[in-house]
Structure 1
Amino acid sequence: MGRVEIATAYVARPLIGFGAALIFVLLAVLVAGIVFGFAPGTLFVVIAAGLGAYMALNIGANDVANNMGPAVGAKVLSLTGAIAIAAIFETAGALIAGGDVVSTISNGIIDADSVADARVFTWAMIAALLSAALWVNIATWIGAPVSTTHAVVGGVMGAGIAAAGLSAVHWPTMGAIAASWVVSPALGGAIAALVLAFIKARIIYREDKIAAARKWVPVLIGVMAGTFAAYLAMKGLKRVVSVDIGAALGLGAATGLIAWLAAIPVIRRQAAGMENRNKSLKALFGFPLVISAALLSFAHGANDVANAVGPLAAIVHAQESGAFSDRVALPAWVMMIGAFGISLGLILFGPKLIRLVGDQITKLNPMRAYCVALSTAITVLIASWLGLPVSSTHIAIGGVFGVGFFREWYMQRRAVSNRQRTAPPLTLPYAERRRRKLVRRSHFLTIVAAWVVTVPAAAALSAATFRLLGVLFG
């Protein structure tokens, strides 16, 4: 009997998360039924509420890992601490700064006139929501952090094609999104590599590391504070206050200057008595990394809650008014489904991808993880200034790869230089060269492949779902 109990607990433990997720989805359905009552179209709203909750869970399981993974991999935060901080700040970002109004046609992906009928519009949004959630779920299962924004875009595109043909899609917009597959990770990786190169040149490989750190770490903290102030003003506080790029940069510059001046005495006290070695330097980057991870989670909650419940809000509006609208308000109960769903998905299913991003792509320490966080914020700001549609997921993962590939290049260059000074060139076998790589190529190929197929996979699922809904309810 004792062994049966142990076996039962072993088998049942993985099902706890699925059970809790199912209860949350059922609660969302119940809330939608109570709020909407017996009005016409209640069935569609109830279905969409369940799918919105399912999508929110998947966003929490997949997307949030990009913000917390580097801090966990650098061992600045424990997995439990990272989940707690992310859950708090994701929920706060969604409820405090989540958009009052969302675009229901995903920023012009399909022609609004092609889905002017309220019934067709409702089916299209349900199909988009279900397909995006399914694809993100599949990506999480195979261990690939993907863009939930791109999944929603693909879902909307597929439903639009199924409803009105290829002519319904705004192909220039889709072309810009496709270009972001390359631009986002490349720019994030390049900036992360440049920041790491700066840290190596100015701090790590100096004779007096602690003196160099006292000089440059406050500057880096100021840059981080200024960047995140501008980032939050542009991307994370749209509901509270709306600012243009110029005002955001001005706010960032002022915040960065204040943070730099405030950090000088703090870093001086913290560095007092430290040994002149790299381990001491890592301690100076720990707290800034935790703050950056929390701010990234806040901005993510504010921005990506619309991915989970934007189509749900659109369906609610269409059923209440009998017509579609290109932009609709997010009711409070809809926003809460998205906010709490993202946090619950992170708690239940997030650890898998947090470990992958933090530990399994490349080895991170506080300095490298700091480079990833800073590059994410800088790249989003640059993209906003240029008007490029980028994915924070692609940027963050690109930053991790950028740090890893830069370390490979740098160590190979130093090894070649040392051999040239001490001995003839040494040719290593291919297997040994591959073993010495600092970035795991299997994860690199899996993630890139998942990025490439996200939009077409979500589109195909959405088109099939739309056709099925037409057969069932037509």
Structure 2
Amino acid sequence: MAQDPLNNQWRTLDKDLGRISQLEYATQYVSRPMVGLGIALAFVVIVGIAVTIFLGTQTPSPIIIAAAVLGAYMAINIGANDVANNMGPAVGANALTMGGAIVIAALFESAGALLAGGDVVSTISKGIIDPESVADTQVFIWAMMAALMSSALWVNLATWVGAPVSTTHAVVGGVMGAGIAAAGFAAVNWATMGAIAASWVISPLLGGVVAAVFLAFIKAYIIYQDDKIAAARRWVPVLIGIMAGVFATYLAMKGLKRIVSIDLGTALVIGVVIGAVSYAISAPMIRRQSEGMENRNRSLKSLFSVPLVFSAALLSFAHGANDVANAVGPLAAIVHADQFGEFAGSVSIPNWVMIIGAFGISFGLVLFGPKLIRMVGSQITKLNPMRAYCVALSAAITVIIASWLGLPVSSTHIAVGAVFGVGFFREWHAERRSRKFGAAKPKRIAAEERRRRKLVRRSHFLTIIAAWVITVPAAATMSGLIFLGLSAVLS
């Protein structure tokens, strides 16, 4: 039977169209990651153009334009990496969707940076290098430029690898490396660097211990009670009051510097008052919300979801108020030195510099933040609203304790350390309960199966710890090389 030439023609056309469709799908899949890079590049270019056009009546120097571009690049990387520590637990606990977390974080990060961002920033990053050792203003400008570039590149690399690192430590390393390249090892304040190195250990340990203590309390007094709902009515308002008091203290002490300066004692009084008011308001609300709930853990999770969302938003506000200086601090120092021909221990941050930092953090979060949010929220250990609540509360408490002790800690290390603390406590607690309530002769488990059953993924743990350890030396090395390169090209 002869084949119909027309049918063969249509069949051939269908195959060709199918191949074209597959090629289009493949092109879209490959080009999708490039969209974020393109938008980020456009933002950086727009910042450079805007600074050129709108910065006062005088034409800004190429140094200020270049520094503004680098500041925008650094802010994007802070949004991609640092903000995940605040939103990751809430997303991992399913209290927030990824889209909701990004919207809340972008709004509160920007509000914190613009409304309560510090108006004075140390141009030498908390006394890391001695200004007198870098006597030449031009040398100081190139040193700050190298520090800004190296810290941004390192945070970008860490985000690509999937490791949440401290942008504060990246800036510290950049300033130290540029200072060494410019004036030798004697220019570095090694006592300050020693305190920062100690914080690598203190921050995550303190955050992990505080988070584990709160999780142990919740398990003992709520989860393992015969009447879980009655226990929740008694203790959840207390926990909400503690959370409100802690965040009120945290924001009063760390997040409102631009509005009013508050010492630790006054901040604690404010926290106690806000905590008591929050307890009085939340107690009847929790009682009404818990009516008719089944006596099981799933019911308890819903009671912690709303407080967890509020805690994530408040952490983002405080982070924007404090950590935006990591992006704009060196930029503000460069602007001051270029305009006045001198450098000072601290300078005022112009509003346009704060705007670059705020919008850059928001762009970085929207474009590249989901990767680290998933890492912190679900890939290190499994979180639910109660565990994530312990992480958020630990982050705020640990910062207050560290400020009281005068320790330079990292919010990134604290938050991720709290996630690890929750996971390792669950491992220890599960092993303890299995020995207590298990069979007299527990079944032998192969080593590989035992590793698989661990509640904290060891591969992510080792990757993150390694990234923390090498952040300062890596940023310092990069900064020193960049400074030497700039000096060689421009001399």
- TM-score, scaled relative to structure 2: 0.95
Q: Tell me by how many angstroms 1:33 deviates.
A: 1.6
Match for residue 443 of structure 2? Answer: 426
The one-letter code sitting in structure 2 at the alignment partner of 1:467 is: L
| Structure 2 spans left out of the alignment, 5+ residues | 1-19
Match for residue 334 of structure 2? Answer: 315
Match for residue 197 of structure 2? Answer: 178
- Mapped pair 1:62 → 2:81: yes
Match for residue 240 of structure 1? Answer: 259
Q: Tell me by how many angstroms 1:8 deviates.
A: 2.6
Local SS of the residue matching 2:121: strand
Match for residue 459 of structure 1? Answer: 476
Q: Tell me by how many angstroms 1:115 deviates.
A: 1.7
Contact 1:61 1:345 (8 Å CA) reproduced: yes
Question: Which of 102, 121, 133 is residue 83 of structure 1 equivalent to?
Answer: 102
Identity %: 69
| Structure 1 spans left out of the alignment, 5+ residues | none
- Mapped pair 1:388 → 2:407: yes
Match for residue 277 of structure 2? Answer: 258
Match for residue 352 of structure 1? Answer: 371
Q: Tell me by how many angstroms 1:12 deviates.
A: 1.9
Q: Tell me by how many angstroms 1:327 deviates.
A: 0.6
Question: Which of 428, 448, 463 is residue 465 of structure 2 equivalent to?
Answer: 448
* Alpha-carbon distance between aligned partners in 2 of 1:113 and 1:179, rounded to the nearest angstrom: 26
Match for residue 396 of structure 2? Answer: 377
Match for residue 222 of structure 2? Answer: 203
Q: Deviations over 1:291-345 (max 9, x none)?
A: 0000000000000111001111111111110111111111111110000000000
Match for residue 410 of structure 1? Answer: 429
Label 1:187 to 1:9 Cα distance change in 2 as closer, same or farther (>3 A).
same
- Mapped pair 1:439 → 2:462: no
* Equivalenced residues, count: 472
Q: Tell me by how many angstroms 1:40 deviates.
A: 8.3
Match for residue 337 of structure 1? Answer: 356
* Alpha-carbon distance between aligned partners in 2 of 1:177 and 1:334, rounded to the nearest angstrom: 27
* Alpha-carbon distance between aligned partners in 2 of 1:425 and 1:2, rounded to the nearest angstrom: 57
Contact 2:155 2:165 (8 Å CA) reproduced: yes
Contact 2:240 2:278 (8 Å CA) reproduced: yes
Question: Which of 325, 334, 340 is residue 306 of structure 1 equivalent to?
Answer: 325
* Alpha-carbon distance between aligned partners in 1 of 2:415 and 2:319, rounded to the nearest angstrom: 12
Contact 1:108 1:173 (8 Å CA) reproduced: yes
Match for residue 32 of structure 2? Answer: 13
Match for residue 126 of structure 2? Answer: 107
Label 1:37 to 1:466 Cα distance change in 2 as closer, same or farther (>3 A).
farther
Contact 1:372 1:396 (8 Å CA) reproduced: yes
Q: CA RMSD in A?
A: 1.1
Local SS of the residue matching 1:346: helix
Match for residue 7 of structure 2? Answer: none
Q: Tell me by how many angstroms 1:41 deviates.
A: 7.0
Contact 1:56 1:308 (8 Å CA) reproduced: yes
Question: Which of 151, 173, 178 is residue 159 of structure 1 equivalent to?
Answer: 178
Label 1:8 to 1:79 Cα distance change in 2 as closer, same or farther (>3 A).
same
- Which structure: larger Rg? 2
Match for residue 30 of structure 1? Answer: 49
Local SS of the residue matching 2:347: strand
* Alpha-carbon distance between aligned partners in 1 of 2:407 and 2:440, rounded to the nearest angstrom: 49
Contact 2:51 2:60 (8 Å CA) reproduced: no
* Alpha-carbon distance between aligned partners in 1 of 2:258 and 2:55, rounded to the nearest angstrom: 25
